[in-house]
Structure 1
Amino acid sequence: MKFLVLQHAASEHPGSLRDFMRADGFTWDAVELDEGEAIPDVSGYDALLVLGGPMDVWEEDLHPWLATEKQVIRDWVTAGRPFLGICLGHQLLADAMGGEVGKMAEPEVGVCNVSLTDEGAACALFAGYPNSFPALQWHGAAVFRAPAGAKILASSAHCPIQAMQIGPRAFGIQYHVELIDTTVSDWGIIPEYRCALESITGPGGQERLEAAAAEHMEQFQSNAGRLYCNFKTVLK
């Protein structure tokens, strides 16, 4: 099994998902789009994983490769192939498939509760999940309108579309599932992320978020393993 991974910042890598893929003997190719790397021929891949990044889906004038990336996502999902988008990847999925993504009135940053909808509780991707669980959020844009026919799988008080499904095998998740011990400290170096954090928390927010993430890390990684195993069912 081979994954194509689209990255938008060096520190926004697959994180704990790498360990799960490695344990299964799966391989992956990571393309660093923000560094000018081109998306290869996708025909040899079994799944597409699209990760987060500091840019927004509408910034094609600043990042022209976004248009190509969205076309690749559109073609992949339309063909019914397995897709998982996280944070920006979730928003790119929505935009590529005809939904609407916009700037939030206030960023959602921190450890927040996410709740499954009825469709989420019945979805194979969230099999074994509790109805409500803590998740790490760090985003200033959100999916305002899901594409036609999409199922809304999860929501939070601040962001109604936390997870969605499009077709039989394409999923987007707004919160971060791929966390490892150094994730929050690594992201705090990115100016756009730190600005969003401090706009809410003020000075010291980075340290408080690192502490909150560490407190919940065991549950974050347990949920990541469960979601990864569930996602594998759509690869068959």
Structure 2
Amino acid sequence: MGGSNPASHFIMIPVRGSRVPVTPLPRWRTVRQYGRRPLRPLRENPLKVLVFQHVAAEHPGSFRDFMRAEGVIWDAVELDEGEAIPALEGYDALMVFGGPMDVWQEEEHPWLVAEKAAIRAWVATGKPYLGVCLGHQLLADALGGKVGLMPRPEAGVTDVSLTQAGQDSVFFTGLPPTFPTLQWHGAAVLKQPEGAKVLAHNDHCAIQALQVGERAFGIQYHVELTDDTVPEWGEITEYRCALEAITGPGGGALLVKAVEEKMPVFRKAAEQLYRNFRATW
């Protein structure tokens, strides 16, 4: 979710069933995780990722499998539960995921101030950043872009198309020019930060992905889905009510079915996107 729970328009656009080529991940030993050390260290200092979460159900999703496969360790900070942001030194990448709040709700969620400051400080180091949904909006807002409500919220399985900058970006290497995504947001990046590149768009949201510098990326949509993602989100009262306000009773089941049909494509796209992001570390 990306804030401003949509409540007036539900979009279910048929998508292409195109296959997304993915290079297999190396067969590394796995780790037990959240933030725990590898069972057997793969190197003296394993790669470490800092993860910002805004609701427990919005987490790295399928990216966890890819990180485990490479022996990458990640520390998840649940900001909405009052967990403090640790010192940024010592982390190799920062990932920021979705949530039901909006970037401008600093009075309701005071920790947003510290989070934005941490994002600015992180991006200034030039280290890799990946923001998904709210994390995409926070990247833009923290760096001087504009985030606001959409004229019509976007929810469901929809196509996203790459701009020329997106086709030229290492972040989208191996992905087709147009591919399916899960959308569930009522706010969007309306203006990118100065110097940022718009990498993807569709008819409903002009900035579906952006890049700041060489190694900071944001995506409005979701591909990090697991079989449990939509059912788990449906158990969150705010999410369920917002979805049913759009679709009426049974909308959750309709969305589950739509996502299930595209799950193989989502999985391949998520793996390719992770590998592309990982290549920037």
TM-score bracket for the superposition, by shorter chain length: over 0.9
The corresponding residue for 2:41 is: none
- Note the C-alpha offset of 1:202: 1.9
The corresponding residue for 2:20 is: none
Structure number with higher strand proportion: 1
8 Å Cα contact 1:139-1:196 kept in structure 2:
no
The corresponding residue for 1:185 is: 231
Provide the C-alpha distance between the structure 2 equivalents of 1:158 and 1:169, rounded to a whole number of angstroms: 26
Instruction: Say whether 1:14 aligns with 2:69.
Output: no
Q: Which amino acid aligns with 2:49?
A: F
8 Å Cα contact 1:115-1:155 kept in structure 2:
yes
The corresponding residue for 2:169 is: 123
The corresponding residue for 1:204 is: 250
Which structure carries more relative contact order (alpha carbon 8 Å, separation 6+)? 2
TM-score by structure 2 length?
0.82
The corresponding residue for 2:134 is: 88
- Note the C-alpha offset of 1:191: 2.7
Instruction: Say whether 1:26 aligns with 2:72.
Output: yes
SS at 1:154's partner residue? Answer: strand
Provide the C-alpha distance between the structure 1 equivalents of 2:203 and 2:155, rounded to a whole number of angstroms: 12
SS at 2:279's partner residue? Answer: helix
Which sits farther off after the overlay, 197-206 or 77-86? Answer: 197-206
Provide the C-alpha distance between the structure 2 equivalents of 1:108 and 1:192, rounded to a whole number of angstroms: 16
1:64 equivalent among 98, 110, 117: 110
Structure with larger Rg: 2
SS at 1:168's partner residue? Answer: coil
Instruction: Say whether 1:150 aligns with 2:196.
Output: yes
8 Å Cα contact 1:108-1:137 kept in structure 2:
yes
- Note the C-alpha offset of 1:203: 1.9
The corresponding residue for 1:174 is: 220
Deviations 1:126-165 (A, max 9, x none): 0011100110001111001110111000001101100000
Gaps of 5+ in 1: none
Provide the C-alpha distance between the structure 2 equivalents of 1:193 and 1:115, rounded to a whole number of angstroms: 26
Provide the C-alpha distance between the structure 1 equivalents of 2:177 and 2:248, rounded to a whole number of angstroms: 32
Q: Which amino acid aligns with 2:71?
A: G
The corresponding residue for 1:137 is: 183
Provide the C-alpha distance between the structure 1 equivalents of 2:237 and 2:197, rounded to a whole number of angstroms: 33
How big is the alpha-carbon RMSD for the aligned residues of Structure 1 and Structure 2?
0.8
Q: Which amino acid aligns with 2:254?
A: R
SS at 1:61's partner residue? Answer: coil
Instruction: Say whether 1:104 aligns with 2:133.
Output: no
Which sits farther off after the overlay, 16-25 or 100-109? Answer: 100-109
8 Å Cα contact 1:107-1:196 kept in structure 2:
no
Deviation >6 Å, runs of 4+ = none
Instruction: Say whether 1:49 aligns with 2:95.
Output: yes
Which sits farther off after the overlay, 186-195 or 5-14? Answer: 186-195
SS at 2:195's partner residue? Answer: coil
TM-score by structure 1 length?
0.98
Structure number with higher helix proportion: 1
SS at 2:266's partner residue? Answer: helix
8 Å Cα contact 1:140-1:196 kept in structure 2:
no
The corresponding residue for 1:221 is: 267
- Note the C-alpha offset of 1:21: 0.2
